[in-house]
Structure 1
Amino acid sequence: MFMGEYHHNVDTKGRLIVPAKFRDDLGESFVLTRGLDQCLFGYPMDEWKIIEDKLRNLPLTKKDARAFTRFFFSGATECEIDKQGRINIAGTLLNYAKIEKECVVLGVSNRIEIWNKEIWEDYFNESADSFADIAENMIGFDI
């Protein structure tokens, strides 16, 4: 399980040091793709397989299913962690998430998320006031 918040920088070659606590659970390689809310999602291969199977079973006749599947898979790339604990993030993904240098790497249960630092801080601050309301709406999920 991934959890925690880590502040890192992406270098000029698009490399990011993956937090040490995440490396073992991500494995030697993992999938990085466009996420929701303008961040990147990173999945270990076993979790990616689960998502892949679910998306493959969406009805091809549904416009929203086709659009989401395209969005998710077209940005997906396999990342390998090098000996220094870094990954190379594709330029298209960096552009999508507006990551130039400072970023935040989050552990979110079965995945990691990589955010532009400013976008994360804005998202967090805007959402902070509504966390109590969000938690109240989660009652039906038995949390």
Structure 2
Amino acid sequence: MASNPFGTDIHAEDVVAVMAELKGWEDRYRQVIQWGKKLPVMEEALKQEKVLVSGCESSVWLVLNCDNGHWDIQADSDARIVRGLIAIVLAAFNGKTSQQIAEFDLPHYFEQLNLINHLSPSRGNGLQAIVATIRERAMSEL
């Protein structure tokens, strides 16, 4: 499996806990950027047209592999904030089974993070496109 997007074992609950401690959108935004900086850069050879996520304003590459029933997700973007959003999604989905991905309450997760209402409509749509791509692939394995 690829390395964890944060370089350590961190889960959605950890992301929620960190974000809950921050005051104001600017602090949350900075934290998202920091997580994006920790996201491993995808190998250039993997950044192919066929793995580009449609519906994103910036370029987002998403490579999904199911190994022994658990998803290994690699993703990258040319936009700093999107890299951070990807890291937040990977904290919820990377290393999980298709069933766990299907059952994860993503709307509640994003609500707890208090992010969506601060994103531009195009960023929000892009985030939803990333999530939809992961969920569609995971559901195809159920």
Shared fold (TM-score greater than 0.5)?
no
Richer in helix (by share): 2
Q: TM-score scaled by structure 1?
A: 0.25
Richer in strand (by share): 1
| Larger radius of gyration between Structure 1 and Structure 2 | 1
Q: TM-score scaled by structure 2?
A: 0.25
